[in-house]
Structure formats: structure tokens, C-alpha cells
Amino acid sequence: MRMRVAAYALITRGEGADREILLPHWNENGMSGWTLPGGGVEPGEHPADGAVREVNEETGYDVRLTGLLGVDSAVLPESRRGDALQALRILYRAEITGGELAIEVDGTTDDVAWHPLDRVPQLRHVHAVDWALRHLDDAGSPLR
């Protein structure tokens, strides 16, 4: 069984009914959906550093991680390569510190946008978005 470690960020803006979430659109190997900014951690890379790097690659924003929200594990009996895969996902809360919204070039995402929270259930999205939304109002644990 292979293992893939990935780190993601929950990034929101606004308050109350105007609150929005930042989601890139994942599109790879005939599968697609709105997802969290983030992705695979490189060998030797700290997951927090991987989350910051991936957010910048997929959204154009520079971020500061403000808390650890959770860790999730899912076993996929058969991956695209034909073998079983354990997906270990780490979720951080983040705030934007710079940059500007930009669509990733030559990556696995083909769009990025702010979405009103009340519209997310109607979007075609990956399971990780629902997982993150359960942590929407959590402050998170201190980092490192």
C-alpha cells in the first residue's frame, strides 16, 4: 500500500451571510471538482511548508498558517496505479498575507474562486471540502 501525505488550508473571508471560502477547481485524469487549496507534501518537506507552497501555486496568494485543524486518513482500495493508497490529509487554517488571485498554470487545478459558504453544497466538490467545513469555526491548535 502506498501512502500520500497532503496538506491543505481552510481560507475564508467575510462575516455572517457574506462569508466565503477559497476553493481551487481540481481537474485531473477525467475527474474534477472544487477542492481545498493544498496538495502533496514533498519528501523531507514539513507539512506546514507544503501547505503554504501549494496554496501559493494553486491560488496566487501568500498565506500564514494560524492553526492546525485536523488530520484525516482514507484508504482507497485501488488507486489509478492499481494499488491501494492511504491518503493522509492535514488541514490548517490560514490567512492571506499577500499576492493576488491567480489560476495555476500547468498544474492539476484549472480555476480558483471565492464561493459563498451557503452555495458550497450545490457545487460539485471533493469530500475534503465537507471535512474542512466541519472545522469552519474551530480556532485550531498551535503550530509546530
pLDDT in tens, 33-69: 999 999 999 999 999 999 999 999 999 999 999 999 9
Residue 138 lies in a domain: no
- CATH number of the domain that 126 lies in? 3.90.79.10
Residue 68 lies in a domain: yes
How many structural domains compose the chain? 1
Host domain of residue 15: 2-133
pLDDT in tens, 71-115: 999 898 875 667 888 999 999 999 999 999 999 998 899 999 999
Residue 47 lies in a domain: yes
Residue 62 lies in a domain: yes
Mean pLDDT of the 12-32 span: 93
Alpha-carbon Rg for the chain, nearest whole angstrom, is 15
Residue 32 lies in a domain: yes
Residue 142 lies in a domain: no
Residue 140 lies in a domain: no
